[in-house]
Structure 1
Amino acid sequence: MSSPHDRDDAPHDDPHADRRDDRPGDGGSEPVHLGKGDRAPAPGDGGSGAGAWQPPGWDLPPAEPQRRPEEQPPAATGPVVAWGGRPRTPSLAEQVFQYRGDTVGAQGWALQHGWTVTDGTAPEDAVLAELVAGAPVRTAKEHRAAGVMRGRAGALDLVAFDVVFVDKRRTVPQWAVTAAPVLLPLPGLRLSPARFWRHRTGGLVPVPSGDETFDARWVLLAAEDGEAVRRLVADPGVRGLLLGTDDGDEFWTAAGHLAAVRPDGHRPELLEHHARLLTAMVAALAGAA
């Protein structure tokens, strides 16, 4: 007579013996529907070695972004500057050309074109004070000419400078002036965009050009309504140039000059712009003589 222990000890009597798992430590069978994968070891199985079973994906590298190593700044190759020493005294040329209003290279442009540059205190610059005093802008005793550039544009002699405001703390360029000395007697006149507020116009009378389009944008004031003044605005070249601008310049006569002014400091493009306008206007005045 056999007992239950006898059946356990005789695996050949078990009809399911051929389905048992031969893996060490596993004496049971695995249902077919669970697949053929290895099962996770129990906490006490000690499967922590290199060949221990892990769920799929657990052996992948950590999903952390790869950070590039910080780049070190290149070592300085130039000479080391000693900041503790006393600054050297600027040369005379450096003192003349250190005007801070030339941030856009107007003086550099002038030197490249053979012009001369002064700081506004040269003897030939004394006439500029009278020119600034008659300008159609609101100036004060703190305003003066600075960064003066003299040269030729074609057949025309020009002087260009910034009108700067000077006080104890700063020097600020406020207007750019370009003027052409004219040997002919010049009538007192003011030519301004119609949209500008006009002041210092005492004794000046309006002189219409007869061109409605031009008169809608520009206003000519003169001390007398003479032939020279009318020829100036009747010249088709002058009117065409003025109508092609942004109406940002004003023109006036003073100290034997015909001058143009625009807010802000000078720049190379503005020098060329003023040179074109003044050349046409001086030619029109000369034709009226």
Structure 2
Amino acid sequence: MTRPGDRDGFDDRPDEGSGWREPAHLGEGQPPEQDRPRNEQPPAGADRAGDAGGPWQPPGWDLPPAQQQGPSQQPVRGGLFGRRRPRTPGEVERVFAYQGDTVGAQGWAVQNGWTISDGSAPEDAVLAELVATAPVRATRDHRPAGVMRGRYGTLELVAFDVLYASGRYAVPEYAITAAPVLGTVPALRLSPARFWKHRTGGLVQIPSGDPEFDGRWVLLAAEDGPAVQRLAQDPTVRGLLLGSDDGDEFWTAAGFTAAIRPDGHRPELIEHHARLLGAIVAALTVSW
């Protein structure tokens, strides 16, 4: 039995802990440099705690706190009655403010004084015949839409998209631009040679005599008459068509000379069609 004054037996081993002393750094917040991990050692030449008046810290550790910036202030303008803030636009001004050509061809048409309809107006009924006679594979699901009417130079034009509407789908597949022509216009079709020809029964090919033009374009007509020959021989028409990308087709129907391209209408296309139609109409009606 051990009495309070007796040793517990561990003290009989003087080599285990008898010479232990509490390290001087305990309770001081920082271990000595030789006991720190390598990645926490201060760089060579860094100030010691006694030199800097405090413990060593990594560079940038004691940067001053960032200053918060207050909310930005809108600039104020001077006036007759002193400085004042910009006026906030009203609801009507925001609704009708000009935001650029957000609707493509129709925005261009409005800016140029053209009128717009959805294709259901009484004067739009004739456009269905243009769609039906167009040199493309139009079906009963194709109809005119986005109709624009106006003047370009000396021509009165009507431009519209051919909309394919079936069920929930409505996609503009073609763009047609047409110029009404007074008098009798011969039935004809002018198409790139690389295009497949649809509904050409009863039409005969009219050569122009220009090998380059005849190699790229084909003129078909119901009969070979003076108007058709003028069109085939017109240097302006041939020059414009040879300078194009061979992407348009032209035909006459319902008192119109028309152009069509597999695309939706845009301002550049309306102007492109207008230039070509102007030359074609001038060649067909030069003697009227």
TM-score past 0.5 threshold: yes
Q: Which residue of 2 aligns with 1:215?
A: 214
**Match status 1:230 vs 2:208:** no
Would the aligned equivalents of 1:146 and 1:164 in 2 still touch at CA under 8 Å? yes
Would the aligned equivalents of 2:42 and 2:58 in 1 still touch at CA under 8 Å? no
Provide, for residues 108-153 of structure 1, a one-character-per-residue CA deviation record: whole Å limited to 9, x for no partner: 1111111111111111111111111110010111111111111001
Which residue identity does 2:167 align to in structure 1? K
Provide, for residues 28-49 of structure 1, a one-character-per-residue CA deviation record: whole Å limited to 9, x for no partner: xxxxxxxxxxxxxx99633353
> How far 1:286 moved relative to its partner?
1.3
Query: For residues 185 and 62 of structure 1, do their structure 2 counterparts lie closer, same or farther at Cα, with a shift above 3 Å needed?
Result: same
| Number of equivalenced pairs | 215
Q: Distance in 1 between matches of 2:144 and 2:166?
A: 14
Which residue identity does 2:24 align to in structure 1? G
Please give the TM-score of this superposition, normalised by the length of structure 1: 0.68
**What percentage of aligned pairs have identical amino acids?**
66
Q: Distance in 1 between matches of 2:261 and 2:151?
A: 20
Which of 58, 61, 66 is equivalent to 1:61?
A: 58
Which residue identity does 1:238 align to in structure 2? V
Q: Distance in 2 between matches of 1:231 and 1:152?
A: 25
- TM-align CA RMSD: 2.8
Q: Secondary structure at the match of 1:287?
A: coil
**Match status 1:46 vs 2:24:** yes
Q: Distance in 2 between matches of 1:216 and 1:63?
A: 78
Query: For residues 103 and 165 of structure 1, do their structure 2 counterparts lie closer, same or farther at Cα, with a shift above 3 Å needed?
Result: farther
Structure 1 residues without counterparts, runs of 5 or longer? 1-41, 69-73, 79-101
Would the aligned equivalents of 1:104 and 1:267 in 2 still touch at CA under 8 Å? no
Show the 5 A alignment for 1:185-224.
185-224=184-223
Query: For residues 51 and 256 of structure 1, do their structure 2 counterparts lie closer, same or farther at Cα, with a shift above 3 Å needed?
Result: closer
Q: Distance in 2 between matches of 1:199 and 1:51?
A: 93
Q: Secondary structure at the match of 2:265?
A: coil
Q: Secondary structure at the match of 2:285?
A: helix
Which residue identity does 1:240 align to in structure 2? G
Q: Which residue of 2 aligns with 1:128?
A: 127
Q: Distance in 1 between matches of 2:194 and 2:23?
A: 96
Which residue identity does 2:115 align to in structure 1? T
Q: Distance in 2 between matches of 1:141 and 1:52?
A: 90
> How far 1:53 moved relative to its partner?
4.2
Q: Which residue of 2 aligns with 1:89?
A: none
Q: Secondary structure at the match of 2:277?
A: helix
> How far 1:216 moved relative to its partner?
1.0
> How far 1:166 moved relative to its partner?
1.4
Q: Which residue of 1 aligns with 2:151?
A: 152
> How far 1:63 moved relative to its partner?
9.9
> How far 1:237 moved relative to its partner?
0.8
> How far 1:227 moved relative to its partner?
1.8
Q: Which residue of 1 aligns with 2:272?
A: 273
Query: Which has the larger Rg?
Result: 1
**Match status 1:137 vs 2:145:** no
Q: Which residue of 2 aligns with 1:164?
A: 163
Please give the TM-score of this superposition, normalised by the length of structure 2: 0.68
> How far 1:167 moved relative to its partner?
2.2
Query: For residues 216 and 44 of structure 1, do their structure 2 counterparts lie closer, same or farther at Cα, with a shift above 3 Å needed?
Result: farther
Q: Distance in 1 between matches of 2:189 and 2:30?
A: 99
Would the aligned equivalents of 1:231 and 1:288 in 2 still touch at CA under 8 Å? no
Query: For residues 103 and 247 of structure 1, do their structure 2 counterparts lie closer, same or farther at Cα, with a shift above 3 Å needed?
Result: farther
Q: Which residue of 2 aligns with 1:111?
A: 110
